Amino acid sequence: MPKFETYGGSIPGVQLDELKGWLIVIEGTDGVGRTTHVSRLRAHLERLGYAVGETGLMRSGLASRGIRRAKQGNTLGNHAYNLFYATDFADRLEHQVLPALRAGFVMLTDRYVYSLIARAIVRGANPQWIKQVYSFSLKPNAVYYLRIGVTDLVPRVLVNGGFDYWESGMDIPMGEDLYDSFIQYQERVIQQLDSLAGEYNFQTLDATTDVDELAEDLCQRVTQLLESDQSKALESVEPA
Amino acid sequence: MTPSPPALEAGPRTYPGRLFVVEGVDGSGKSTQLTLLSQWLRSEGFTVVFSEWNSSPIVRATTRRGKKRMLLTPLTFSLIHATDFSDRVEREIVPSLKAGAIVLADRYVYTAFARDVSRGVDPLWVRSLYRFAPVPAEAFYFRIPLELALKRILSGRPSLKWYEAGMDLGLHIDPTESYRLFQAKIMEQYEQLAPEFGLTAMDATKAVEVQQRLLRQTVRRHLKGLYRRTRTYAEV
């Protein structure tokens, strides 16, 4: 049985049984500390001897420039943005994630389709449609959802450079100013992520926990996952 | 301000305007027919808007980059064209239809269905990608024998581009031969799409003016109630 499967769709020309490695997703809204935890996790896994790769939204060679350019003028409609993000995602899946998994890497992914689905739904996309669009994506081995409420999120965002236009949903203004819109928008995004958490089996972690404690918890969970897979693999090689 | 509603996903919506589509392989003569149709409709006083495949100004730079550097896979080829198309739907096609215009589209979602499936993309998935597209009043499929279409294209074109020739599929090392094989696959897809989506088949081997007469006859049936302006002084 292949180690990986998709959410129902297919990736043309890709044999899923060639894929080894692990796909680990860190999800959570903007400013929750994903970047910190990804880099801690990476250092930890490399110490243990695992080869680690990283990817995140808008890092594709194909579409990231175009999306950035489009955002400057806020000139694309909702469907076009959603599909542009899907293009970026697919390019990274095929050019970053799949090669790493073929080579047996641990691929750490800073946000995955779930954030993209959540932001699309908040902007009015049909949930069924946007989930179908991403049905070609691989099911990760684990999704860790760093959960935070808006009240705890605001001070973090303020000390880290303030409210971002897009992360405040200013393209669909929801309040009088950036602050109001941020609160409204983030509440809806978090609400969507919460509902996806059940549907897609996230492991939800309280992101208001002390950063070192949370990092350790995360490292432990991932180590356990990798080691249990390794021992399973060994059993299948050595007959009892 | 509330976010705009999810445009067309609730199923086929009707707008005051009309959408007409021409489809078919390269060299089937569909663009010639569409141009003639638009001249006629304009002279009759209708408001006509032209929409071409692959023409969104914002998305085009990315498509070009992907093609030039050969970054596109069947999956991303499909998605970037859907992105381009959705931008045109949202900025050009739907607003024009709402305004009561006639929108003429040279290639539409069926082109994506035929091409992408020929590249190995899941047929159901690609159909679902385009679910937001308005349903045309009439979509014409210009049916032509493969050899005739190939002769028209290959005689007038110095060289074929990589993706145009379907070189990414590895069908053949010679671009011309690859193009033949790719076009044959696309044609096979069109033949399936025609009954599935009720495309109106046109015999593209007939004389241009004969086809045009048929086209106008069919289109005329959909024009009742559409806004027509009287001629301006400049046109008298």
pLDDT along chain B (236 residues), means of 10: 37 82 94 96 94 82 86 94 93 93 96 96 96 95 94 81 88 91 96 96 96 97 88 60
Quote the CA–CA distance of B96 and B226 in Å, as a whole number. 13
- pLDDT at res. A228: 87
Q: At what angle do helices B74-88 and B109-118 cross, to 10 degrees?
A: 180
Whether residues B62 and A79 touch (CB distance < 8 A) is answered with: no
In CATH, B18-220 is 2.80.10.50 = no
Judged by CB atoms closer than 8 Å, whether chains meet at B75 and A90 is answered as yes
Q: Are A37 and A218 in contact (CB under 8 A)?
A: yes
Q: Do B90 and A136 touch (CB under 8 A)?
A: no
| pLDDT score at B14 | 82
Q: Among all chains, which residue has been given the structure tokens 């450079």?
A: A161
Residue in chain B lying closest to A92 (CA): B76
> How far from the centroid of its chain's Cα atoms is residue B233's Cα?
35
Residue B54 touches partner A, C-beta closer than 8 Å: no
CA A135 → CA A95, B55, B115, B194, distances in Å? 18, 27, 20, 27
3-state secondary structure of B27: coil
Distance between CA A240 and CA A101 in Å, rounded? 29
Given CB atoms, is B62 within the 8 Å cutoff of chain A? yes
Chain A residues with CB under 8 Å of B120 CB are 12-13
Domains in chain A, CATH or no CATH each: 20-149+204-224 (3.40.50.300)
- Residue A156: per-residue pLDDT: 86
| Closest to A167 measured CA to CA, from A153, A176, A159 | A153
Predicted confidence at residue A92, as pLDDT, reads 93
Residue A118 three-state SS: helix
Q: For residue A19, which of A136, A137, A101 has the smallest C-alpha distance?
A: A101
**Could you read off the pLDDT tens digit of each residue along chain A, which spans 240 residues?**
678 999 999 999 999 999 999 999 999 988 888 999 999 999 999 999 999 999 988 787 788 888 888 777 767 888 999 999 999 999 999 999 999 999 999 999 999 999 999 999 999 999 999 999 999 999 999 999 999 999 988 888 888 888 888 888 887 778 788 888 889 999 999 999 999 999 999 999 999 999 999 999 999 999 999 998 777 766 665 554
Give the distance from residue A198's alpha carbon to the nearest chain B alpha carbon, in angstroms. 24
pLDDT of residue B7: 37
Cβ burial, residue A205 (10 Å; 0-12/13-18/19+): buried
Say if CB A88 and CB A60 are below 8 A apart. Answer: yes
pTM of the predicted model as reported, rounded to 2 decimal places: 0.88
Closest chain B CA to residue A74: B58
Minimum Cα–Cα distance from A130: chain B residue: B129
Residue A55: is it exposed, middle or buried by C-beta count within 10 angstroms (0-12/13-18/19+)? buried
* pLDDT value at residue B190: 97
